[in-house]
Amino acid sequence: MTASRDHQESLIGRSPEQLTFAEKRRYSGVWVAFELYSPRTTPLRKIAAAGDSAAACIEQLAAAGLDPRHYEFVLLQPPTPW
């Protein structure tokens, strides 16, 4: 799965719970970054970066002036059928 710029633009800023079934299938295998929870920040669970690897997400966060150490990196999984 290649996380094209279109995929990145479609994912960044969204909550994974907002993804449709079709989107979950399409983006399965894409790495995403979420800001880590802390009582000081209490971030919303929004996708901050998306890429083919955690390293690609780290590069995106750093390019945006964000500290990658404050993010967790998760591989999106395919949706589970009911």
Residue with more model confidence, 6 or 69: 69
The CA-atom distances, in angstroms, between 80 and each of 13, 58, 77 are: 23, 28, 9
Give me the torsion for CA of 23, 25, 28, 32, rounded to 10°.
20
pLDDT tens figures, 23-80 = 999 999 999 999 988 787 776 789 999 999 999 999 999 999 999 999 999 999 998 8
Mean pLDDT of 9-35: 92
Instruction: Give CA angle at 38 (54, 77), nearest 5°.
Output: 35
pLDDT at 2: 46
Given this model, what pLDDT does residue 25 score?
A: 92
